[in-house]
């Protein structure tokens, strides 16, 4: 049996709890010959977090499968930690900045910082029995990509490409997942209720097929306008079929502040499949329309999770700080905690005259948006 196997369980961790990432030696002792625990890879980028302390962002009891069918998947004994995203160092410089999955076995629960200081001697002198490592650091690096044949482009292996192997199918009607969403601290009860109300309204009324859908979406928008809420998020673009969608180049750089254009303006840049030059404007982006955010980075290349190959963006995309998918409107994967950074076309943004400069305080303000549930569906 691997060390720590029964010592820690994700079910004992809730959003907001403090944990310490175990040492490299301790974690290596839990891995198999493929640098995995329960088929979830421990990636080289994760070594930088060893020995450090973090708050639990959300329990990763479920996730979404972006490799196959975009449906929900169930994961065993894992969490996401605040601020722990992959920097792509071992994966060709992939710029997706995915939120890392942490098996509870790789963590130890600790007391909050003020109490940690008082009890640091107990924590720092904790000893554990380490078995011979299942793999070495070199093995972890080697496992990040498949062996190359002559002239072949690298095929990368990461946590995202291995989601189907490390998880099991999770039907949307499995009610226990929503109970865990609440009891884990991932999602407030009010947000869960609003999510189900929206899904009933969308599937049970708008898409009922009796011709009242347009009226119901109009009523939805009127109600949300009064409540200062999000407009009906599943509307199609207005660029006529066969017409090339427009583009813009603002040359946005990290630290600049931008305003996301209103939903109507963005729809005017998308075709009837909600695509702009190959990039979809998803319903999960609608709650951010009209808001002001800070540019986190320009994205020019990412690992395609379906193939493992490095994919160059035809046009640069923008990631905004703390603007993540909240899975409020996503089919079959409501309240997925994965918090993927969506990509933004520059034509969907405009520079904001905020007079702000990049600072830790501004960045912290933006990050706090992750934890704030929008008050209306």
**Per residue in 18-50, is it b (16+ CB within 10 Å) or e — as a string?**
bbbbbebebbbbbbeebbbbeebbbbbbbbebb
SS3 354: coil
pTM for the full predicted model: 0.87
User: What is the pLDDT confidence band of residue 314, given thresholds at 50, 70 and 90?
Assistant: confident
Query: What are the distances in angstroms from CA 80 to CA 60, 255, 313, 359?
Result: 6, 25, 27, 25
CA angle 236, 240, 246 (to 5 degrees): 90
| DSSP conformational letter for 152 | P
Query: What residues are paired with 318 via a beta bridge?
Result: 298, 344
Query: What is the rounded distance in angstroms from the CA atom of residue 352 to the CA atom of residue 359?
Result: 16
Radius of gyration of the chain (CA): 22
pLDDT of 113 above 90: no
Cβ atoms of residues 67 and 53 within 8 Å: no
Tokens of 347: 């034509």
Q: What is the mean pLDDT of residues 223-247?
A: 94
pLDDT digits (tens, 9 = 90+) for 317-348: 999 999 999 999 988 899 999 999 999 999 99
Query: What are the distances in angstroms from CA 293 to CA 26, 95, 109, 280, 321?
Result: 39, 19, 33, 20, 7
Query: What residues are paired with 279 via a beta bridge?
Result: 276
Query: What are the distances in angstroms from CA 201 to CA 42, 196, 220, 224, 329?
Result: 41, 8, 9, 14, 11
Query: What is the rounded distance in angstroms from the CA atom of residue 54 to the CA atom of residue 115?
Result: 14
**Taking the C-alpha atoms of 230, 231, 235 and 241 in order, what is their torsion angle to the nearest 10 degrees?**
-100
pLDDT digits (tens, 9 = 90+) for 151-192: 789 999 999 999 999 999 999 999 999 999 999 999 999 999
Residues 6 or more apart whose CB falls under 8 angstroms from that of 360 comprise none
pLDDT of 297 above 90: yes
pLDDT digits (tens, 9 = 90+) for 6-35: 456 777 899 999 999 999 999 999 999 999
| DSSP conformational letter for 99 | B
Q: What is the model's pLDDT at position 214?
A: 92
Query: What is the rounded distance in angstroms from the CA atom of residue 257 to the CA atom of residue 181?
Result: 33
User: What is the pLDDT confidence band of residue 124, given thresholds at 50, 70 and 90?
Assistant: very low
Tokens of 146: 């498949």
SS3 360: helix
Residue 137: Cβ-neighbour burial (10 angstroms; 0-12, 13-18, 19+): middle
Cβ atoms of residues 362 and 275 within 8 Å: no
pLDDT digits (tens, 9 = 90+) for 63-106: 999 999 889 999 999 999 999 999 999 999 999 999 999 999 99
End-to-end CA separation in angstroms for the chain: 46
User: What is the pLDDT confidence band of residue 357, given thresholds at 50, 70 and 90?
Assistant: very low
Q: Could you tell me where the DSSP H helices lie in 22-135?
A: 24-28, 113-118, 120-124
Query: What are the distances in angstroms from CA 218 to CA 196, 223, 327?
Result: 20, 9, 23
């Amino acid at each position: 049996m691997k060390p720590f196997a029964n010592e820690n369980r994700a079910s004992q961790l809730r959003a907001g709890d403090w944990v310490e990432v175990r040492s490299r030696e301790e974690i290596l002792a839990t891995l198999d010959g493929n640098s995995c625990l329960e088929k979830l890879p421990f990636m080289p980028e994760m070594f930088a977090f060893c020995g450090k302390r973090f708050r639990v962002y959300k329990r990763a009891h479920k996730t979404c499968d972006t490799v196959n069918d975009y449906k929900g998947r169930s994961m065993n004994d894992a969490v996401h930690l605040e601020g722990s995203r992959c920097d792509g160092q071992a994966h060709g410089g992939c710029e997706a900045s995915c939120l890392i999955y942490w098996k509870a076995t790789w963590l130890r629960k600790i007391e909050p910082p003020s109490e940690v200081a008082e009890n640091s001697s107990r924590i720092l002198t904790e000893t554990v029995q380490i078995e011979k490592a299942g793999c070495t650091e070199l093995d972890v690096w080697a496992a990040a990509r498949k062996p190359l044949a002559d002239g072949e482009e690298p095929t990368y292996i990461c946590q995202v490409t291995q989601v189907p192997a490390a998880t099991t199918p999770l039907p949307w009607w499995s009610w226990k997942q929503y109970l865990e969403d609440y009891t884990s601290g991932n999602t407030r009860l009010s947000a869960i209720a609003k999510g189900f109300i929206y899904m009933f309204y969308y599937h049970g009324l708008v898409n009922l097929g009796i011709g009242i859908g347009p009226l119901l979406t109009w009523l939805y928008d009127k109600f949300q306008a009064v409540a200062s809420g999000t407009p009906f998020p599943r509307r199609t673009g207005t660029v006529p079929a066969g017409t090339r969608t427009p583009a813009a180049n603002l040359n946005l750089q990290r630290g600049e502040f931008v305003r996301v254009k209103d939903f109507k303006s963005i729809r005017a840049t998308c075709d009837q499949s909600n695509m702009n030059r190959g990039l979809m404007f998803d319903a999960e982006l609608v709650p951010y329309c009209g808001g002001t955010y800070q540019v986190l980075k320009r994205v020019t290349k990412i690992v395609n999770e379906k193939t493992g190959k490095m994919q160059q963006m035809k046009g640069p995309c923008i990631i905004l700080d703390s603007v993540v998918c909240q899975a409020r409107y996503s089919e079959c994967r409501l309240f997925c905690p994965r918090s993927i950074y969506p990509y933004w076309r520059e034509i969907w943004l405009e520079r904001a005259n905020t007079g702000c400069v990049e600072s830790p305080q501004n960045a912290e303000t933006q990050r706090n948006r992750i934890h704030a549930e929008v008050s209306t569906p």
